[in-house]
Amino acid sequence: MKFGILVNEGPYQHQAADSAYLFAKAALEMGHEVPRVFFYMDGVNNANKLQEPQQDDRNVVQRWSELAESHEVDLVVCVAAALRRGIKDEILAPGFRISGLGQLVEIGVEADRLVTFGD
């Protein structure tokens, strides 16, 4: 099965980012495809490489970057939502890219299921 994932919440103020990551990881481990994760609204904060969580806390941004690298998952950040929150190419973590809502529409059409995390 091919899953598209939409993340609408930031990495540390809501469980949605963690749940989305764990869902994507589990799906990939089970042999499913996750070609793209789209980050929208506050979810764009998952792409900010300037975040520095405490050493004993999980690093959500790094988790996403590692998932993208190891499984070739396209991590797309909504341009309008990113710019509203001061996120530009210079502060994107590895594996993330900025693009428009067309990327969300495309994965919604191509995937068997589009799973949304967050409000």
The whole domain housing 79 covers 2-117
Task: Find the CATH number of the domain harbouring 75.
Answer: 3.40.1260.10
| Mean pLDDT split into 10-residue runs, the chain, 119 residues | 97 94 98 98 96 86 97 98 96 97 97 97
% of the chain at pLDDT higher than 90: 89
| Number of domains observed in the structure of the chain | 1
Contact between residue 34 and residue 24 where contact means Cβ atoms under 8 Å apart = yes
- What angle do the packed helices 16-29 and 60-71 form, to 10 degrees? 20
**Residue pLDDT, tens place only, 52-71:** 888 888 899 999 999 999 99
Catalytic residue chosen out of the listed positions 73, 78, 81, 111: 78
pLDDT at 96: 98
d(CA 36, CA 57): 26
- Asked about 78 being catalytic, the answer comes back as yes
Over residues 38-55, the pLDDT tens digits come to 999 999 999 999 988 888
